[in-house]
Amino acid sequence: MMRQVRRRERASRILLLVLAGVLFTGLFMQIGWLSEISRQSKQNDALSREITELSATADNLRVALSRYHNLEIIQQKAEQLGMTLPDSSQIRVISLPISINQGTSAQTAAMNGGEEGAK
């Protein structure tokens, strides 16, 4: 009878130790998961702030760009620099043949004295 009691006590101790080990393992795993979730949450917050800042910067750049595309402002700046609209004698139209093997960046025209083919 004593043996059975000791066996039961030993079995319950072993079972208690296994249960405690499982609980502590689960606890440490949960702590690890929570710390990973916290890290990812902080990273998401940082990325959200960066997205907000970049969106504001993009909006500011769009506004600045639209200012520079304003033809009235461009005309005023050109007039301040002494620029005028060209007259018909200052405009030359040049037609170049386009080769299939060459892009448009390879096209050039020789302009002697400001005119092509003038003799």
Domain count along the chain? 1
Q: Quick check: is 62 in a domain?
A: yes
Q: Quick check: is 70 in a domain?
A: yes
Q: What is the pLDDT of residue 94?
A: 87
Q: Give the structural domain span for 18.
A: 2-83
Q: Quick check: is 112 in a domain?
A: no
| Range of 27-31, 90-94, 98-102 with top mean pLDDT | 27-31
- pLDDT tens-digit readout, 20-60: 999 999 999 999 999 999 999 999 999 999 999 999 999 99
Query: Average pLDDT of 56-75?
Result: 87
Q: Quick check: is 35 in a domain?
A: yes
Q: From CA 30, how far away is CA 23, in angstroms rounded?
A: 10
Q: Does pTM top 0.75 for this prediction?
A: no
Q: Quick check: is 69 in a domain?
A: yes
